[in-house]
Structures are given as C-alpha cells and as structure tokens.
Structure 1
Amino acid sequence: MDIWKLGAIIWLFKSHVEGRAGIGKFLTSFVDNERKPTTVVFHGICWNNSVKLHVMKELSKAGIRSSQSMSKRTSLIDHTVLLLADLNCTGTDELIINASCIAQATQRELHRLPYRWLVLSDAPRSGRSSLWDPFLVDSELVLATVDGAGYTMTEVYKPSPTSPAILTPRGTFQHVLTDTRPHRELFRRRRDLMGVPLTITNTIQESNSSIYHLLQEDSLELEHDLISKNSYTLAKVAFLTLNATPVATFTNSFGYLQNGQWTGVIKELLEYNADIGTNVGMSQSRLKQVMFLDPLDNGRARFIFRQPALSVTANIFSLPFSPDVWIATGLSSFVAGVAYYLSTRLIKTRAEKGTVRDAYLLTMSALSQQGCEVQPRHVSARIVLWVVFTSMMALYAAYGANIVVLLQAPSTSVNSLATLAKSKLALGAADVNYNHFLFRASSDPVRNDIAKRVNSDKGPKAFYGLTEGVEKIRKGLFAFHSVVEPVYRQIDRTFQEKEKCDLMELDYIGYAAFHVPGSKKSPYLELLRVTFKRLREVGIKSAVNFRFEARRPSCKESIAMFSSVGITEMRPVLIFMAYGVALSVAVTAAELLVFHANRYRLRQRRVAVQLGRI
C-alpha cells in the first residue's frame, strides 16, 4: 500500500514538473515573436530548481538569455528585460502590485516602458482586478492563461488610474504561437485614450489678456506670450488626435531653480499637475527633472540689432584700396617726383632750375588733385606732369566711387558674442521674467560681460518694453534681446523699408530650439512623442506655426537708397585735417625758428667783421 502511495506521489510530481517544464516552448515562441533582444527574468516564480533549470535550458538552446534575478543594469539595456511572473505562486499578486525594487528601480518604473511583463495564470482574471492598477497606457503586460494544452494571451492596460482595465486579445499558443494583434506598434494599438484628460501648463508673463486669447485661439495680440499660444494650439491638436480631453493650466515662469526649489513649468511637472508644458530651453539641470519631447513652437530668443555703419567700426577712407594699392601709389608718386626733378635738372636754363622740394610739392599736389604755383616750362617736365595728373585723376575717380559705396554700406564686424561685447552698441533686453534670470553672472567671461551691461549692479538696468526696445533698434547702435517673432512683427509696423536691410541677430542663450517638457510621472509621454512627430510629418505643425510666427523682414530697397553723411562718417577726415593743421603749425614754427637763427647768425657775423676792421 505504501508503495502504491509513493508511486502516485512520484507520478503527480513528474506530471507537475513536465507541465511547468512545457512553459519553455511557449516562452521561446513568445520571445521569437517579439523580434527584439530579450532577457527573461524570473520575477515572482515559485517553481523548484529542476523546473527552472529545464526552462532555462530550453531558452538557452534558442539563444535567449535568462536570469533568476535582475542585477543592476544601465538604462541602455533595460528595454531587453521581460519580467516573468506566475499568479499561481503565493504572494505574486502583491509582488506585482508593489513591484519590489529590482535593479534599483522605483515602483512606477517597473510597470512602465521599457520593461515588459509576461504573467502566467491558470484562470482568467477580471478587468476590474486591482492587480492591473499600475499598468497604464505606457506599460506592456501580457496575461497568458492556460487553455488546455496551450495558452490564451491577453494584453492588459488601463487608459487612466481611475478607469477599468482594457483586455484585448494578443493571440494563442497551441504548439504554434498565433499573434492576433492588428498592429505591432504600441502607439497604434493605444492611441484612443477614451476622453482621458491631458493637461498642458502654459507660461503667461507678458499680458494677462493672453490667457483669454490663448483659450480662444483667435490669433490676437501675438506680440504677447507667442510661444505659449503656439504651443497650446499644437498641444490641443495632439490631445484631440489621441481622443483625450484638453486641459490648460497657467503659471508665470518657464521654470528656474531658486533656493533649491524649482518654479514655474518645471515645478508643475515635478508635482505632476500637468503632463507637458510650454516650450522651454534645454539645460543640464532641467534634463535631470523632466523629459523633453519635440519642439512645438519654432520661437527663439536672440539679440536683434541693426549692423552699425561701416564708418563707425572702421576708417572707410583707407578701405577703397588694398594695402598693396596704397604701397604702389606711394612708390609711383616717389618715382614721378624723381622723374620730374631729373627732367628739370638735366637741361639747365635760367628760366627753370628745379629743386627736390618743388618736385615733390608738385607730385603731392597731383596726388591730392590740387594746384601748385610751380609751373614747368620745359617740354619733358610738362610731359611728366601731364602723365602724373592723368594717372592720379583715374585713381581719384576709382577712389571717389568706392567711398560713395562704403558710406552707405553697413559693417559686418559684429557677428559673434565676443565682438558684440566689445562693440559700441548699447545692450538691452525685454522686460520679462526669463531675461531677468538669463542676464545674471556667468562663468563664461564673454556672456558675463554682456550680462553686466544689461543687468548692471551699479547703474540702471537696461530692461525695456517691446515698443521702446524696437524703437531703439530703429535708431541704431542698440542690441535688444527678446523672442524674435514679436520683435519682427513690430519692425514690420514701424520700420521704413531701407531700415530693414541691415538687421542682424545673435544667439546669447545657446539653445538650438525650445522643446516641450514632459513630466516623467506621466504615462502618456510616448504617445505624445509619436503624435508630435506625426503632426510635423503631415504638415499640421508648419501650418500652425505659419499662423503665429513672423518672418524676418525682407529688404526690398537695398539698391536705390542713400543716407546723409554726418560727422561720424567724416571723423577720419577731420582727424586727418587736425593732424595736418598741427603739422603745418609745427613746420611754420620750425621755419620761423630757422629764419631767426640765420638772421641772428648773419648779424653776429657782421658785427665781427666791423670789429675786425677797427
């Protein structure tokens, strides 16, 4: 009798082992059907070691890695993890719900992508079971229920924490796995959120009326809070595409770290009061707190200014010719002076006795297009003088034509932050919250110099309203930092056409573009990320951006425009004339000194002669 009981126990145990060992073929087929690198982790498994060893051997033969526990891994390979659990084991329900910290992960991270779950069960589970509460739309859980000699697979997730779980067929396994999913892409299977509210927090810091116009989407007062209006419009389109209910909240800051606490948009996302926020700039500190998605608005903050006239940054009277031409002109003048002197000295007559002084005085008169009292009478000297005046006349015509062009031309010397910091341009910024945080002390010496000129600790601070800042740009020698679209819109209204031709912008912040920040606690970020890309691909993003953004004003009258010449343009000439006057006074004084010295010497000589006679 005892032998019969022992045989029955052995037979039951053997059947149990073989039944559990059959899971190896199912796991192998399931992983192969995933078509992605996979490491099977036994999580919530109460099988004995012989069964585990048999299953691991089956997986190993198929080239699939497996582990009894998940060691600490980097986030680069977390997407390979497939957590295997068995609901027939005691305590597995609580283990799944609590998601004990494997590999230093938090409770929420284990239930979300990139982790995947395969849960085994001998009996179906209800969609209202609390077991599925953590598995939202960004999770990937498959419930495999025993069905005879095979399994029936069901995909389980919840659109929101308060809604019942949705169970959709995944396929069956009867020696061969059959996948019944309509689409393999997670986005295409879960893009219907069934009215779940999605929230965007919008930054309003320029005008309180922006809240009304933003919600109405009436494209009015676009000079205020343009980035928020554009971002909200596109975010609302994305929410409706996912069949979600758009919800808008508001804050007065893009989000900065103050006294160890985050403010504005970043704070709202950290506290999960919103899923995404208005476009903000990327920084290392923000990347640690939120996840950045695609940029919705193309807005950018820049220094905008009119390039200063060339006469302000350079001596335009030396620019018409290159240094080689100036050297050649000087050598030619020297050779012409020598030729004239030789032509007057080789033929000696009483009527004409040339000197070196007369030769070069005449050459300099020709170079400056002036007359001279020295008039040659010999034919050879006159020919030399004619050649000199003719050559200098052609040179003077080319010089004068270039000067006219250069007087109208803007410079290109201010083309970087370093040249802006050293330039004579006054600096200012729009009087909004982000600029007050932006222009603070910086470790970069160039940016630090610019910040001190805008946000001075000793003198008045250079923060202006949009209208005043644009007017200062129009008057020239002023650089204004702001979001460029409202500035260009105001420039179109107030600038003359010729004043739009020398506009320049420089990036102070260093952001390539502003991006949408998302809360790391939100389960909808992956759906929104794909939706934003689709809006860009089909052209909706471009169409909405075109409604809100102002393009850089085009220059239509750059050819036939002339400006008056003032003291600034003539400054090098006036300085040259001042040097000439000073030199002439010095020469006159020297001549008088030499004249009186010679006169005194002659007088002394006469006195000596008279005394010698006596």
Structure 2
Amino acid sequence: MRVSVKNIDNTNVDDLQLYLNHWTVHTGVLIAGSCNQTINVLELASRGGLFDASHIWLILDNATDYGNAMAIDDALQRMNLSVDADVVVATNMGDRYELMDVFNFGKIQGNNLERKYLGTWSEESGLNVSASTFKYYDRWDFHNLTMRAVTVVLGRPKAFEPDMLTSLSYTKGISVFTKTAAQVLEPIRETHNLRFNYTVVGRWIGTVTKNASLAVMNTLYWHEQDIACTSARIFSNWLQWVDICHPPVGKIESRFFYLIPDRGIGNYENRFLTPLSPAVWWCAVGAGIFCACVLAVSAAIEKRPRPGVYAVLSVLGAVCQQAYEEGIQIIDEQLSSQGGRLTMLVIGVTSMLLYNYYTSSVVSWLLSAAPPTLQDIDGLINSDFELIFEDIGYTRGWFEDAGFFYYSGYKNPKEDVLRLKKVTNAKRSKELYQPVEYGIELIKTGDFAYHTEPYTAYQSISRTFDDVELCRLGSLPMINPSPTYIMTQKRSPYKQFFNWSLMRLKERGHITAIQARIAGFIAICSGSTPRALALGQAAPAFGLLAVAAFVSLFILLGEIIWFRWLMETELQP
C-alpha cells in the first residue's frame, strides 16, 4: 500500500487512519524519507499506535543527505515504537540499499531506540538478509526491561512485597488465581529478561469511565499498565477493552459454606415417602380394595351385620401392621369361613412384606445417604441462614452492578431474588462483609452461610474445624470452576511473546504443576463420626401420624354420637 502524504491533515490522525485502519490483516506502507511531510506522518502514526505488527513500514532514505538522515533517526527515537514494530529504514548507498530494522522494547518505559542490521538489496543481487529471519527471535531478550504490572491484593496493604504473590503458602488478601498467575509469569520473566514494577489495586473489573476507581481492567484500558500480574474470568463484552493471553492459567470458583443444621432442612430432604415407587403404592391400594371387596362378600354370605364397614376396618387394621400373631388370632376369632381366612391371610402377608421392604429401604438410605446439603439457590433462599461475604472485588461487583454482573456468568433471575431477599431486605445481626477468619468462625454457630473461595476457606477450616464439624460442613457452588486469563492492553505489543511462552509452559506441564502446588489442603470428613438423623428426615411420618390421630379422633366422636343415637332410639316406647 502506498500513502500519499499530501492527502494527510497535519492536525489529526484520522486522515492517516482512514488509509491504515486495518488491524486484522497486514498493511504495508512505503514512505520517502526526503519528503517534507515525512516527520509529520511519522508523528501522526506514533500517536495513532500504527507502529505495530499489523503495519509494515518501509522508509526510503538517502545516505548522502546527512541532515535528513539524522532528522529521520531523531524522529524515530521520539516515536512510540514497540517491541513488535515492523519498521525498516532502507538507506540508499549508491549501488545498493542497506536495510536496518528499527524498534523499541518499550518507549513509554524509557527505553532507547534499537537498531539491527538486516541485510542489503540491489538490482543486481536482489535481497540478501542476515542469518536470523524472524524478528521475534531477535527480540526474545528484553534486556532487563521494566514492565508495568498491575495486581490485586484485598485491602491494598501499604507494606507490599512481590514475594507475597509468588509464595506457595496462603497469604491473606491474595486469591489463588492471583498466586497462580504470578507463579506462571515468574519463569516467563526470567526467559524474556524483564522486570515488573507492581501497582496494587483492590478490584479486577471496574468501569472505564473517567475518574472511576482503579481496577485491573481500566488501568489496562487507559494504558497505565502493560500486563496484569493476576488472572480473571473474562466475558465477551470485556474484550473490547483488553486482550487476553492464551492458554488460561487458573480457575476461579466460589461457594457458600455452612453447617448442616441438626433440626433438618424440611423440603430439601423429604424422602420418607420415596423408597417405594408410585406404581407400588397404587398396586398396594388396589390389592387392599380387592381384598376388602372379597371380605365384604364373604361377610355378607355369613350374614354379618354391616359387612362393608366390617371388611374395610378389617383390611385397614391389617394394613396398619398389627403384630402378625395378633392378626391371625383376630382372624380365627372373627372369621369362620375359609374364604375370609384366606383373604385376611393374603392382606396380612402382603402388608407385612410391604412394610419390611419399605422400612429396609428407609433405614439403608438413612445410613448411606450423603449429608442433606442445599442443592440449589432456591434452597439457600428458603433457608434460615444469614448470608455474609468475603470483601472481594467480584462480590462488590455482584452488589454494585446488580442486574449486570452475576456469579453464574449469565443473567440469572434467581441470583437477583437471592440478593433481594437474603441481603437487601433481610434483617442482619452481623455486617455484610467479614474477613475470612471471622466468617469461618460464624459458620460454626450454624446460623450463617459464608461466601468465599474454597482455597481461602479451607485455610481456616483445616486449622479450626474438628471432625464432627467437618462432617457437618456443606457448601453450595455460586461460581462454578471457570478458566481465568492473564490480561494485557488492547493490541499489546507483548501479547504474542506471552502467548508463545504460556503455550510452551502448558505443553511441558509447568502450569498444571503450579496449579497443583497452590491448590492447598482440602479438609474432608474422616467418616468415623456418625451423622445424627435430623427431624426433617422423618417429618412426613410424624405428619402422617398426626393426621391419622386426628382422623381416629373424628371417627371416635362419630361412633359416640352414633351410639347415643342408637341408645335413645331403642329406649323410646
């Protein structure tokens, strides 16, 4: 592509970008160094960020014009060139052109212009280049470049040391995915021979509006930082502000931690009626009705009074599981026909088998079932827990950006209901944000559910919980394990270097090893402490007993009234 300088306005870069506004394909620019407007064009390109890997510049210079050559060199020294710049100065030496590669490891960091001899070109011999043919290999060593790195430490402590980020042990205020990113960047820093000048902020994601609170994302967007020495979960709309390096280096995950209450959790574990399928229950009902009909016919043949009532009550008594011997005795005393005896024998044996299978299923489930933990957000909403949170950036975003930021990563109305009922409109006995140590202590009371990362929570849980409390510990995922990425400026000149280095670390297993070293100890229940059965697990049985007692009382009152009416009727003359 050839750009005519006479069409470029000297006051703004829009005219130049009109020709060079290509970021996904490579664009070549040929410019004459002897032109009066060349310096202006270079300055406009510098302000527009056009000295990058997508734009290939070839500047034709003349060695005989010493003043112009020095002007071009001084101008390039002032330009905002970067490590991925493709700028070649071709100097006319009479019979050939000498090609000089010009770039800068970081102009904004105070570095000087770098020059590397590429080769020559002439009409007779053509293009002759030096042995090195790939610019990124030539620029692999950053010569102790100081890069501006932004990281996140909760509370932004005044006494910050870089070793806090790379330490394998737990450090208060530093998330696991920040430590993972710092550990991964450490070998990359040594490989490329660079240093980090850290800036500490309190949040990962923030608005990019003017005067917004400092966060990782907006400092990169404003070009105040070069790279994030932490990682973050990325959404598609954020990619218009920053670029991400591949592959991901860690995972983010958060949970609500709580103690499973002894009183049971009602609807969340109502399995007292489920050991037998609906088909079994309906078959049992059908068999009872059939036996009642047979027994009623048999009683009618024997001319017993009220055979229908007699048959129903006899079958109901057998189903209610009186003792088997007692049932046989009742049969012998009350029935004389073979059909009646056979009918009651069938209903008695059937009821006994049904009862045995049912109780065996209930007991086996109670002994082997997992602890009755909350299964979803609805369970947390309907629970009696008071919610408290770790003071961390994405949780503040969950409150401050209600309706836009969700733990689940997508629009989730249940999270809005949870926020409204359990936080905004809930009566509180404790402050909403609590430090990890105190939040874990509040969990032990059984009245609170604490939101934090598993890595952070288990640091305190492993030290303070005994085996009984570990067996009662439950958790509800809010942020499912999601990959996190290291972020850079949009169209950062360093992105390609970090992509290659991260891929090499991934292929060689370094990233997996770092993640394993920083995973931390997860305390689990030993299984030696039995779990007490909660009232909620047997609540339906007690409810059924209460209903049956009420019905029996109602029947008793009816029988008394009926008996008195009969007595009064018989005593009348």
Same fold (TM over 0.5): yes
Shift of 1:399: 0.6
Correspondence for 2:105 among 159, 163, 176: 159
Shift of 1:300: 2.7
Amino acid at match of 1:152: E
Q: Does 1:355 align with 2:304?
A: no
**Hey, what's the Cα distance between the residues in 2 that align with 1:388 and 1:426?**
51
Shift of 1:417: 4.2
Which SS does the other structure have where 1:274 is aligned? Answer: coil
Aligned in 2, Cα 1:247/1:565: closer, same or farther, shift over 3 Å?
same
Shift of 1:344: 4.5
Pick which of 388-397 and 517-526 moved more: 517-526
User: Retained in 2: the 8 A contact 1:41–1:69?
Assistant: no
Aligned in 2, Cα 1:462/1:406: closer, same or farther, shift over 3 Å?
farther
Correspondence for 1:488 among 458, 466, 483: 458
User: Retained in 1: the 8 A contact 2:203–2:392?
Assistant: no
**Hey, what's the Cα distance between the residues in 1 that align with 2:497 and 2:80?**
17
Shift of 1:170: 2.8
Post-superposition Cα deviations, 1:28-53, rounded to whole Å, max 9, x if no partner, equal xxxxxxxxxxxx2325489xxxxxxx
Aligned to 2:565: 597
**Hey, what's the Cα distance between the residues in 1 that align with 2:471 and 2:136?**
47
Computing the radius of gyration from Cα coordinates, the structure with the larger value is 1
User: Retained in 1: the 8 A contact 2:471–2:531?
Assistant: no
User: Retained in 1: the 8 A contact 2:251–2:482?
Assistant: no
**Hey, what's the Cα distance between the residues in 1 that align with 2:306 and 2:18?**
103
Correspondence for 1:507 among 458, 471, 478: 478
**Hey, what's the Cα distance between the residues in 1 that align with 2:17 and 2:397?**
44
Amino acid at match of 1:168: K
User: Retained in 1: the 8 A contact 2:233–2:252?
Assistant: no
Correspondence for 2:57 among 97, 117, 126: 117
Q: Does 1:219 align with 2:206?
A: no
User: Retained in 1: the 8 A contact 2:258–2:448?
Assistant: yes
Shift of 1:554: 6.1
Q: Does 1:139 align with 2:100?
A: no
Correspondence for 1:430 among 356, 365, 390: 390
RMSD between aligned residues = 3.8
Aligned to 1:400: 359
1:450-465 maps to which residues of 2 (within 5 A)?
A: 450-456=418-424, 459-460=427-428, 462-465=432-435
Pick which of 378-387 and 252-261 moved more: 252-261
Aligned to 2:41: 95
Q: Does 1:386 align with 2:339?
A: no
Which SS does the other structure have where 2:424 is aligned? Answer: coil
Aligned in 2, Cα 1:260/1:141: closer, same or farther, shift over 3 Å?
closer
Aligned to 1:530: 500
Aligned to 2:11: none
1:16-95 maps to which residues of 2 (within 5 A)?
A: 40-44=1-5, 71=18, 77=24, 79-95=25-41
Post-superposition Cα deviations, 1:544-599, rounded to whole Å, max 9, x if no partner, equal 22222237666764xx8742234322221222122122212222222222233334
Scaled by the length of structure 2, the TM-score of the pair is 0.79
Shift of 1:198: 1.5
Pick which of 210-219 and 353-362 moved more: 210-219
Which SS does the other structure have where 1:263 is aligned? Answer: coil
Aligned to 1:177: 127
Amino acid at match of 2:389: A
Scaled by the length of structure 1, the TM-score of the pair is 0.75
User: Retained in 1: the 8 A contact 2:471–2:529?
Assistant: no
User: Retained in 2: the 8 A contact 1:170–1:179?
Assistant: yes
Post-superposition Cα deviations, 1:441-493, rounded to whole Å, max 9, x if no partner, equal 32653222122245325632543332444456567686432122112344444
Post-superposition Cα deviations, 1:48-100, rounded to whole Å, max 9, x if no partner, equal xxxxxxxxxxxxxxxxxxxx9874686564x221111111222213321332x
Task: Extract unaligned runs of 5+ from structure 1.
Answer: 1-39, 47-67, 100-105, 607-614
User: Retained in 1: the 8 A contact 2:258–2:450?
Assistant: yes
User: Retained in 2: the 8 A contact 1:123–1:146?
Assistant: yes
Aligned to 1:442: 403
Shift of 1:193: 0.6
**Hey, what's the Cα distance between the residues in 1 that align with 2:20 and 2:289?**
82
Aligned to 1:588: 556
**Hey, what's the Cα distance between the residues in 1 that align with 2:542 and 2:469?**
28
Aligned to 1:340: 295
User: Retained in 2: the 8 A contact 1:200–1:235?
Assistant: no
Aligned in 2, Cα 1:213/1:130: closer, same or farther, shift over 3 Å?
closer
Q: Does 1:328 align with 2:288?
A: no
Aligned to 2:212: 262
**Hey, what's the Cα distance between the residues in 1 that align with 2:364 and 2:160?**
50
Which SS does the other structure have where 2:516 is aligned? Answer: helix
Pick which of 208-217 and 236-245 moved more: 208-217
User: Retained in 1: the 8 A contact 2:39–2:75?
Assistant: no
Which SS does the other structure have where 1:515 is aligned? Answer: strand
**Hey, what's the Cα distance between the residues in 2 that align with 1:319 and 1:193?**
68
**Hey, what's the Cα distance between the residues in 1 that align with 2:288 and 2:94?**
111
Shift of 1:421: 4.0
**Hey, what's the Cα distance between the residues in 2 that align with 1:500 and 1:72?**
67
Post-superposition Cα deviations, 1:334-360, rounded to whole Å, max 9, x if no partner, equal 1222233344444x38xx878333333
Aligned in 2, Cα 1:215/1:431: closer, same or farther, shift over 3 Å?
closer
**Hey, what's the Cα distance between the residues in 1 that align with 2:149 and 2:17?**
36
Post-superposition Cα deviations, 1:2-24, rounded to whole Å, max 9, x if no partner, equal xxxxxxxxxxxxxxxxxxxxxxx
User: Retained in 2: the 8 A contact 1:474–1:499?
Assistant: no
**Hey, what's the Cα distance between the residues in 2 that align with 1:424 and 1:513?**
33
Shift of 1:157: 0.7
Aligned in 2, Cα 1:406/1:476: closer, same or farther, shift over 3 Å?
farther
- Per chain length, whose mean CA-contact separation is higher, i.e. which structure has more relative contact order (CA < 8 Å, sep 6+)? 2
Amino acid at match of 1:394: L
Shift of 1:268: 3.8
Aligned in 2, Cα 1:385/1:74: closer, same or farther, shift over 3 Å?
farther
Post-superposition Cα deviations, 1:311-351, rounded to whole Å, max 9, x if no partner, equal 542532210111111101111111222233344444x38xx
Post-superposition Cα deviations, 1:382-411, rounded to whole Å, max 9, x if no partner, equal 333223222222222211121123335348
Which SS does the other structure have where 1:318 is aligned? Answer: coil
User: Retained in 2: the 8 A contact 1:427–1:453?
Assistant: no
**Hey, what's the Cα distance between the residues in 2 that align with 1:537 and 1:497?**
43
May I ask how many residue pairs the two structures share in their alignment?
531
User: Retained in 1: the 8 A contact 2:49–2:80?
Assistant: no
User: Retained in 2: the 8 A contact 1:311–1:407?
Assistant: no
Aligned to 2:538: 570
Pick which of 157-166 and 449-458 moved more: 449-458
Pick which of 85-94 and 515-524 moved more: 515-524
Aligned in 2, Cα 1:269/1:566: closer, same or farther, shift over 3 Å?
closer
**Hey, what's the Cα distance between the residues in 1 that align with 2:471 and 2:483?**
25
Pick which of 240-249 and 382-391 moved more: 382-391
**Hey, what's the Cα distance between the residues in 1 that align with 2:486 and 2:564?**
86
Percent of counterpart pairs with the same letter? 18
Aligned in 2, Cα 1:70/1:449: closer, same or farther, shift over 3 Å?
closer
